[in-house]
Amino acid sequence: MRTEITYIGTIATPYTSLTQCPNNIDASGPSCQITLFDSYKSGLEGLKTGEEILVLYWLEQAQRDQMVQEGKQGITKGTFALRSPHRPNPIGAAVLSIESINNGCITVKGLDCLDGTPVIDIKPAIKKELSD
């Protein structure tokens, strides 16, 4: 079976090294721009400022062979119990509110990735409503 991922754009953040990168998304963090390649810009039609989106991105510098890692407070957990970038398929995921959309560029706040990170996909966020 052959699987191929097509990058649809890149993310601009203020982080140029892993030591600068935050450990998680922060909706009050710095502005970040998600810029789509020209052939994908029309796919943004229908998205609106203020709407929440799910952004999927590829964490290129992640280690792909760590199945057990140290989490917060030094507690050891399996990779799939953590938001760590180090995983077999290093896909980052963030739900963030759209600050603005302009000519194929979405501005959001607080992404937790390096400048130049490839974008895999963007989807409207779905929130599960809790019932009584």
Q: What are the backbone dihedrals phi and psi of residue 120, each rounded to the nearest 5 degrees, phi first?
A: -95, -45
Please determine, for residue 131, whether its predicted confidence score (pLDDT) is greater than 70.
no
Q: What is the pLDDT of residues 78-112, one digit of tens each?
A: 888 877 777 888 899 999 999 999 999 999 999 99
3-state helix, strand, coil in the chain (%, to 5): 10, 35, 55
**Could you tell me the domains of the chain?**
9-124 (2.40.30.70)
Please report the beta strands in the chain, taking only residues with DSSP state E, as ranges in sequence order. 9-12, 31-36, 52-58, 68-70, 76-78, 91-97, 100-102, 105-109, 117-124
Q: What is the pLDDT of residues 45-59, one digit of tens each?
A: 999 999 999 999 998
Query: What are the C-alpha distances in Å from 42 to residues 21, 68, 120?
Result: 30, 41, 16
